[in-house]
Chains A and B, each alone.
Chain A
Amino acid sequence: MTQVALPPSRLALFATFAQIAMFGFGGVLVWSRRMLVEERKWLTPAEFNEAYALCQFLPGPNVINLSVVFGRRIAGVPGSLVALAGLLVPPLIMVSIMALLYARFGEAAPMQHMLRAAAAAGLVLGTCAKMARPLVKDRLRVAPVLALATFVLIAILRWPLYLALGLLVPLSVLIAWLRR
């Protein structure tokens, strides 16, 4: 049984989420788990999985949701605000510097920008392929077809997000309900 520490102070909450934000390069989930479960021992592995399931269920960036949900559990509204600020303030400072540099020198190194974009696009596609692997196990092939339909409507036909989701989400949830 893991020893769970006392509720953290607001400063510790801010510092921990700031650390998650700054080191969570390319995988904030891994870092939030390492910090909250392994280093700080604020959550047991099971509690973390449960909190993360909730944050995946909610729309928007998962780790931002996690900071709000976890902060609330520790100290209500102030807790949520402190954890969220920890997660957002350091990256916002960094990205502001980047925005300034880009506005000034953006056209100066087009090759570097394009190479970085190629790597970024590849990363997203590779991660997506990883996530899609379990879908193929669907015996009726419904899940892969729904994923593909979403892809085609958004990426190829360029439908507005709301239209595509308005059509596909009810359909997909209905199918999932019927297949329970």
Chain B
Amino acid sequence: MSHGTLRTLAVNFALMSLFAIGGGNSAVPEMQRLVVEVHHWMTDRQFTDLFALAQVTPGPNMIIVTLIGYQVAGVLGALVSTAAMCGPTCVLAFCIGGVWDRFKEAPWRIAVQAGLLPISIGLIGASGFVIAMGAASNIAFGVLVLAAAFLSYVTRLNPAWMFGAAALIGLTGLL
């Protein structure tokens, strides 16, 4: 893989990580736009597959960037992407962690946090939508997406059960 591709991965994930407000999943629509629509590194289906793989892997969901990096540029791509997604935010967390006490009660801090909240919820909704569009290729899958959404909204069921049920549906050949 060319250095150009690695540089593109590094620069984009590093930048994206600083805009991922409200958690790792907030940047998923931007990742999809970058790898599927702008660079055509993979199809929408492949991106959706990788997202789902990252979700069933224990640990932080941002691990999707490791999978994207690997798919695009092999082991080096995986390492570069992971480091780029973690590096800037970790440095920021380290620095702000040291001065947090000084401004945690500041009015501007409270306004910034209150202002970011609705935006981050909109971003997470957009992530769900982008993935749902990749997954719901027909009505049956659409119903499945809605059923999983409904279940996770009304219950506190461990997501493992839902992935288990999805696998079972596949094994029994119901769909």
Contact = CB atoms under 8 A, between A and B. Distances in A.
Interface of A: 21-28, 50, 53-65, 68-69, 72-73, 77, 80, 84, 87-88, 90-92, 94-96, 98-99, 102-103, 106, 109, 111-132, 135, 142-144, 146-151, 154-155, 158, 160-162, 165, 168-169, 172-177, 180
A121 B97 contact: no
B92 to A, nearest CB: 6
A132 B119 CA distance: 11
A150 B58 CA distance: 29
Interface residues of B, number: 104
Nearest to A50: B104
B125 A155 contact: yes
Given A60-B89, A91-B58, A172-B116, A155 B129 contact: yes
Interface in B48-68: 48-63, 66-67
B55 A60 contact: no
SS of A interface (majority): helix
Contact of A126 (B51, B97, B111, B151): B151
A172 B21 CA distance: 13
Contacts of A121: 48, 128, 131-132, 134-136, 145, 148-149
A176 B175 CA distance: 47
A161 B148 contact: no
A21 B61 CA distance: 10
B16 interface: yes
A129 B116 CA distance: 17
Given A60-B20, A80-B94, A122-B147, A54 B121 contact: no
Contact of A68 (B90, B108, B116, B147): B90
B170 interface: yes
A146 B115 CA distance: 9
A73 B101 CA distance: 12
Q: Which of B22, B58, B88 has the most CB of A within 10 A?
A: B58
Contact of B125 (A68, A80, A132): A132
Given A60-B24, A119-B163, A162-B15, A90 B121 contact: no
Nearest to A168: B119
